[in-house]
Amino acid sequence: MNRSWLTRFAWISILAALFTIVLKGAAYFITGSVGLLSDAIESVVNLVGGIMALSMLTVAARPADEDHAYGHSKAEYFSSGVEGALIVIAAISIAIAAVPRLMVPKPLAQIGMGLAVSMAASLINLAVAILLLRIGRKHNSITLEANAHHLLTDVWTSLGVLVGVGLVALTSWNRLDAIVALIVAANIIWTGARIVRRSVLGLMDTALTPADMEKVRSVLDRYTSQGVQFHALRTREAGARKFVSVHVLVPGTWTVQHGHQLLEHIESDVRKELPDSTVFTHLESLDDPASWEDQNLERGGNGQGTPQPPKDPRS
């Protein structure tokens, strides 16, 4: 499936980031609020994240080649990992800006105008985030999902800042501006850590989700009534691509053609349950002891369990 068209949504994210940087930067210069400054800093990170998403979606959309026989879909994990790290860096930057203001609070200016400008930027981010999240989940793009969660974090950041700045206007307690910024920073770190964790799990070939595994097992269960058994079921996920590998054990009296037809049906049924999946099956005989010695990933450790080549029937 050609996924290059997904890059258009990365462009939308980039344009939204540029626009909100201008709006939030203006809000900070109008009010002098460190909370609004933290909001503007995160929009800069949004821009970098959008550019990274665009580049990695472009790479991930490339077809398989001789050097990447399984495709380039794992490139999306680099994008989401970098974006998660950028979120954490943004949070640290916010905290660095907020601590001095916490120690030496300063009065804010033209709060009403600053809040109005920041609110407009937040609404833009909210609309783009909802769009990216919907498309990312529909097409299983961790890059777009990470970008969407980043923008949603920005929205929550903005709401927190708006509440904080509004309370400063009502109470004249200027230190509250910095306190809100620090709370926002802590929330951003939590979001960034979750995105980084998901990216690391993907790069480490983590198995499919329990829901997807149940779909695979439901397909295999349909064939057990035919005297077929299965073992060595292994799965992994690489961006939008899912990989399933399983050994299929059939009676030794079956012909090669019969076994091959069975494998074709099994692979087709799994692909119907898991779109964008690659399925590998390995046919084995129920009557051969060697068939039961390869259930582990490392077959025949310490030189044991190595099957002997079959004898030539003509000899």
CA–CA dist 261, 264 (Å, integer): 5
Region 230-234: mean pLDDT is 90
CA–CA dist 11, 269 (Å, integer): 36
**201-239 CB burial, b ≥16 within 10 A, e <16:** ebeeeeebeeebeebbeebbeebeeeebbbebeebebbb
Q: Mind listing the pLDDT tens digit for each residue in 72-88?
A: 677 777 767 777 777 77
Q: What is residue 239's predicted lDDT score, i.e. its pLDDT?
A: 66
4-203 under CATH 1.20.1510.10, yes or no: yes
pLDDT exceeds 70 at position 23: yes
Q: What is residue 308's predicted lDDT score, i.e. its pLDDT?
A: 54
CA–CA dist 114, 27 (Å, integer): 4
| Averaged confidence pLDDT in the chain | 78
Q: What is residue 300's predicted lDDT score, i.e. its pLDDT?
A: 53
In what helix (H) or strand (E) does residue 123 lie, and over which residues does it extend? Answer: helix 111-138
Q: Is the dihedral of CA 84, 90, 91, 96 positive or negative?
A: positive
Q: What CATH architecture is 210-297?
A: 2-Layer Sandwich (3.30)
Q: What one-letter code names the amino acid at 183?
A: I
Q: Mind listing the pLDDT tens digit for each residue in 117-129?
A: 778 888 888 999 8
pLDDT exceeds 50 at position 315: no
Q: Mind listing the pLDDT tens digit for each residue in 291-303?
A: 787 776 665 544 4
- pLDDT-based confidence at residue 104 (cuts at 50, 70, 90): confident
Strands, DSSP E only, in the chain? 229-238, 241-250, 277-285
**Domain locations in the chain?**
4-203, 210-297
Region 283-289: mean pLDDT is 89
